[in-house]
Amino acid sequence: MTLEDIYQIERTKWDSVAEQNLKSLKVMHPDENFYTYARRASTMVKVNDFLGNLRGKKVLEYGCGLGEVSTLLARSGANVVTFDLSPKSIITSRQRAKLNKADANIQFAVAAGENIPYADESFDFIFGRAILHHLEADLGWSEISRVLKPGGKAAFVEPMGMNPILNFVRDHVTYPHKNPRGADHPLTYSDIHTWGQGFREFHFQEIQLLSMLERGLGFGKQLLFLRKLDGFLLRHLPFLRRFCRYVVMFCSK
């Protein structure tokens, strides 16, 4: 497929998802912000500690999707800039921000992640959740480094694609809150290292080995015994890390 073929598949998919969600947007709890979200979300391991204080910082959310994180970043005092390939996702994200009175602190654009419309060294921080695996790493990695200020930081939370059982489930099994598949490709170690190019420091942590069952079985709550078992297995049997569901990536320029 050409890059434009991929864009068309992804644009159509996310336009549909956004249209389905537009009428069900809700006002967030008054105390909800990026920090509380990162503490609560099982995939956001160490993100708060890495990024630190967002107040007054210029933050690029790399792909806004339905706009939840953009609104949470703005509620944490950040000056937020974000984009998405899907025009209807931008409409939904703007509506969510307006509903939560955060729209004055967010700038939106329709753009592709491999070619973003921002000047060099524009941002203090960059954050992305489940966005890089929709992009072409060989084309996109330099954009992240280009727009980040010297001394700036970027953090990404991405699905991994090296567990054959998990890949089968993603392709063929229905489970709660599952998004439709498009042209996305969960990351391999080669992809991860490609995205980490051009940074002064880069490291990553694989997460969710057995605890991925929390979502797959639809429990709706943390299964602490699985998380503790994950910690033991991933610490003592590092060859299992490649089979995890997610990776958290930390970049410093």
Q: Is 243 helix (H, G, I), strand (E, B) or coil?
A: helix
CA angle 70, 75, 77 (to 5 degrees): 105
Per-residue pLDDT of the chain (253 residues), as tens digits, is: 899 999 999 999 999 999 999 999 999 999 999 999 999 998 999 999 999 999 999 999 999 999 999 999 999 999 999 999 999 999 999 999 999 999 999 999 999 999 999 999 999 999 999 999 999 999 999 999 999 999 999 999 999 999 999 999 888 887 767 777 888 999 999 999 999 998 999 999 999 999 988 876 655 667 788 999 999 999 999 999 999 999 999 999 9
| Residue-level pLDDT at 179 | 77
Distance (Å, whole) CA 212 – CA 59:
29
Q: How far is CA 42 from CA 35, 39, 95, 222, in A?
A: 13, 8, 27, 8
- CB count within 10 Å of CB 112 equals 23
Question: What is the pTM for the complete model shown?
Answer: 0.94
| Residue-level pLDDT at 213 | 84
| Residue-level pLDDT at 1 | 83
The answer to whether the beta carbons of residues 149 and 60 sit under 8 Å apart is no
Distance (Å, whole) CA 202 – CA 184:
23
Distance (Å, whole) CA 173 – CA 44:
25
| Residue-level pLDDT at 218 | 57
Q: What domains sit in the chain, N to C, each tagged with a CATH number?
A: 3-252 (3.40.50.150)
Q: Which amino acid is at 245?
A: R
Q: What is the pLDDT of residues 110-169, one digit of tens each?
A: 999 999 999 999 999 999 999 999 999 999 999 999 999 999 999 999 999 999 999 998
